[in-house]
């Protein structure tokens, strides 16, 4: 066996030195514009929230929906976290982003390929048939002299962080949507029961009014008024039943089922859990997944803008190849030979028609867009907290007022019954008082439902930040 190793001659070395010298001499021929992209958001977090909650001491854990103490809700949220398609999509996007990050990291490492080749033939009819075969290895590595590859890896890792935060945000939003839909359904069930009771009262009142009109005790206006009340109660009940069916279909979509889930007859717990402890605005912005998703997207955009600027610098690649070759006429033996070669290549853009500058401008614009999205997410998060705190306070005050109104209506209905038993009022007065009380109870149920929904919104706001 013979071995032949090819080595760069002095002329080749001179060419290599000449290429490196040209790299340094013409490094400024293709240039990128300076960066004017801001790296710090212009939005500053306030020191405190404008709205405060007295006596807030609860915490928001990863499974915050269990704070409501409703096993039916727990089952629904667990089903949604297991089967919801939006969550599966977010998980798949995270897996893809991580794989792309691994691919970007692999681009910085040396490559080693195996080679094999075989030929058989002859150049003319007078030449003997010959066989040529070779096997070998080839390696290549682009040296990241100016950090372009590292920036691309940073961008890919930031993309992975974006997908991770998006998955967290989707999980929180899903649990909140399921909880809100569930409490809306429970509120609609209780209101429908009250409407059926009010419908019975209106029907009785319409009959009583008709009898009194026949006896000449009331006018036709009284009869028509109660007929209108009866029609309104029937319309309200039909609307509530329709809303209940719609919410069931929405809940089925959230839990990933083609059919509406069975809720059973369990009522919403009476006692609300304590409001969660608020955190400082700056702390919330650092922890909320929707804000951090945009922050990581900004990191990725800035890294890619930096990598685009690195295109003006030379790129150095080291190559090595080793092959074992055999060439012989058919039927003749021949000794193989080993050929080893290596080299260095340098590429430098000199005249590119403005491609690099245009690419830099594109990535700068993307970075500016990412910064605007980040600032928008910060403002939206701050507004979300203030809105949730305000809604909680407003719903609490509203519920207290309707509790007083319901209590007054209950007393009025009781007094009307006592006056009727004493012969000082007729049945029409009793039914009117009962109907008014049922309306105040319906309004109270709406207020209670609004506070439960506000409690969900409050936990959704601080989930991931406490």
DSSP per-residue letters across 16-80: HHHHHHHHHHSTTSS--PPP----S-S----SS-SS--TT--B---TTGGGGG--HHHHHHHHHH
**pLDDT score for 61:** 80
Check residue 129 and give its pLDDT.
Answer: 66
Contacts of 424 (CB under 8 A, 6+ apart): none
257: DSSP letter: -
Asked if 63 contacts 78 with a C-beta cutoff of 8 angstroms, the reply is no
> What pLDDT, on the 0 to 100 scale, is given for residue 275?
83
User: Would you tell me the crossing angle of helices 148-214 and 289-309 to the nearest 10 degrees?
Assistant: 150
Distance from C-alpha of 109 to C-alpha of 97, rounded to nearest angstrom = 19
Could you identify the residue written with the tokens 């390929």? 113
Q: Hey, what CATH topology would domain 1-26+111-120+127-143+314-347 get?
A: Outer membrane efflux proteins (OEP) (2.20.200)
Predicted confidence at residue 102, as pLDDT, reads 92
- Which pLDDT does position 113 carry in this prediction? 87
Q: What pLDDT was estimated at residue 12?
A: 52
Mean pLDDT for each 10-residue chunk of the chain (466 residues)?
44 50 49 76 90 71 88 94 95 96 91 82 58 84 91 96 96 96 94 92 82 76 80 91 94 92 71 82 91 96 95 91 74 70 88 91 95 96 93 92 94 89 80 90 94 93 73
| Residue with token string 């009866």 | 230
Output the pLDDT for position 272.
82
Which residues make Cβ contacts (< 8 Å) with residue 14, sequence separation at least 6? none
In angstroms, the CA 358 to CA 193 distance is 67
Cβ atoms 213, 222 nearer than 8 A? yes
Question: How far is it, in rounded angstroms, from Cα 146 to Cα 224?
Answer: 87
């Amino acid at each position: 066996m013979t071995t032949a190793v090819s080595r760069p001659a002095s002329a080749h070395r001179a060419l290599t030195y000449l290429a490196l010298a040209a790299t340094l001499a013409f490094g400024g021929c293709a240039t990128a514009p300076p960066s004017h992209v801001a790296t710090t958001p212009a939005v500053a977090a306030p020191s405190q929230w404008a709205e405060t909650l007295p006596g807030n001491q609860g915490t928001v854990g990863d499974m915050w929906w269990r704070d409501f103490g409703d096993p039916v809700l727990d089952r629904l949220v667990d089903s949604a976290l297991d089967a919801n398609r939006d969550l599966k999509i977010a998980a798949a996007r995270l897996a893809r982003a991580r794989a792309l990050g691994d691919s970007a990291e692999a681009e910085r490492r040396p490559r080693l390929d195996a080679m094999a080749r075989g030929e058989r033939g002859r150049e003319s009819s007078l030449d003997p048939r010959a066989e040529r075969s070779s096997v070998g290895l080839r390696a290549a590595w682009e040296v990241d002299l100016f950090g372009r590859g590292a920036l691309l890896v940073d961008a890919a890792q930031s993309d992975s962080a974006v997908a991770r935060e998006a998955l967290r945000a989707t999980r929180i939003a899903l649990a909140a949507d399921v909880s809100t839909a569930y409490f809306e359904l429970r509120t609609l069930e209780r209101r429908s029961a009250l409407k059926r009771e009010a419908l019975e009262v209106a029907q009785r009142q319409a009959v009583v009014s008709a009898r009194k009109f026949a006896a000449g005790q009331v006018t036709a206006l009284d009869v028509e008024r109660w007929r209108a009340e009866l029609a309104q109660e029937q319309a309200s009940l039909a609307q509530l039943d329709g809303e209940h069916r719609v919410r069931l279909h929405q809940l089925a979509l959230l839990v990933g089922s083609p059919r509406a889930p069975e809720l059973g007859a369990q009522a919403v717990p009476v006692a609300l859990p304590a409001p969660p402890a608020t955190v400082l605005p700056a702390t919330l912005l650092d922890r909320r997944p929707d804000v951090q998703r945009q922050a990581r997207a900004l990191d990725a955009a800035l890294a890619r803008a930096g990598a685009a600027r690195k295109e003006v610098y030379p790129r150095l690649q080291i190559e090595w190849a080793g092959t074992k070759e055999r060439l012989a006429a058919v039927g003749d033996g021949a000794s193989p030979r080993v050929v080893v070669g290596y080299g260095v290549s340098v590429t430098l853009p000199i005249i590119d028609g403005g491609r690099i500058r245009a690419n830099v401008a594109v990535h700068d614009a993307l970075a500016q867009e990412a910064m605007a999205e980040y600032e928008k997410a910060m403002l939206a998060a701050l507004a979300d907290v203030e809105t949730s705190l305000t809604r909680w306070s407003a719903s609490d005050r509203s519920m207290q007022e309707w509790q007083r109104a319901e209590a007054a209506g209950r007393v009025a209905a009781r007094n009307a019954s006592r006056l009727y038993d004493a012969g000082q009022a007729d049945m029409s007065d009793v039914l009117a008082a009962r109907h008014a009380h049922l309306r105040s109870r319906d309004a109270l149920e709406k207020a209670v439902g609004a506070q439960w929904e506000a409690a969900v919104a409050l936990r959704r706001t601080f989930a991931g930040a406490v």
